[in-house]
Amino acid sequence: MGLLMVSVLGLLEAKESAAREAVKRAREGAVRIAAVLEEAERLVERLVVAREAVVEVLAEPAGRGMDVVEENAVAAAVAGSPVPCQSGRLARTVLAPDYQRIISVLETEAGAGRDRVRARELAVALGLEAVPAKIEGVRSRAKRLAERGWITGHQSGEFSTVTP
């Protein structure tokens, strides 16, 4: 029986040593997980602050804070200026003059009962020659306005004002 006791004790010691090693690895893993958790919590805090700032800015009256943006945009609205996405808060003056004229023609046509206008008709209304190069230039600008929410582009190749 003495031999049996020694081998049982040896087995128990080996199991205890393995268990201690497992506990040590688990603690190291817990430290790594705690570090990852801490970084994730910091990210959440930054995102909450950013979201709250955006909500605060969007809650301001439309005129407040936008005056400076619109004044700067008017100064920058020259031929070749990029077309910003229409967020519903931008004035048409942020657009380059060519783009503003396209919207004006569409509004005039809509007022006359023509809801949709083709690029060729836009070109003519803008005082351009009805040649392919001019028509394609107008079509390209109109498509850009439609992509960015200023006007509506239809599958038929026609354009119209945005309907609320």
What CATH number is attached to the domain comprising 135? Answer: 1.10.10
Is 128 part of any domain? yes
Do 46 and 90 fall within a single domain? Answer: no
3-state secondary structure of 122: helix
Cα(141)–Cα(50) distance, rounded to whole angstroms? 34
Q: State the pLDDT at residue 6.
A: 72
| CA 12 to centroid of chain Cα atoms | 62
Q: Two tokens at 101?
A: 């004229």
Q: State the pLDDT at residue 25.
A: 94
Is 74 part of any domain? no
Q: pLDDT confidence of 67, banded at 50, 70, 90?
A: very low
Mean pLDDT of 80-89: 78
Count of domains in the chain? 2
Mean pLDDT of 115-124: 92
Q: State the pLDDT at residue 74.
A: 46
Do 97 and 157 fall within a single domain? Answer: yes
Do 10 and 44 fall within a single domain? Answer: yes
Which residue range(s) make up the domain with 37?
1-59
Count of helix runs (H) and strand runs (E) in the chain: 5, 3
Do 99 and 132 fall within a single domain? Answer: yes
Is 67 part of any domain? no
Do 85 and 19 fall within a single domain? Answer: no
Cα(119)–Cα(142) distance, rounded to whole angstroms? 8
93: DSSP letter: G
**46 contact partners, CB below 8 Å, separation of at least 6:** none
Is 97 part of any domain? yes
Please say if the pLDDT value at position 145 is more than 50.
yes
Q: State the pLDDT at residue 135.
A: 93
Please say if the pLDDT value at position 69 is more than 50.
no
Mean pLDDT of 113-129: 92
Mean pLDDT of 52-77: 58
Is 118 part of any domain? yes
Q: State the pLDDT at residue 90.
A: 82
pTM of the model: 0.52
Q: State the pLDDT at residue 62.
A: 58
Q: State the pLDDT at residue 70.
A: 46
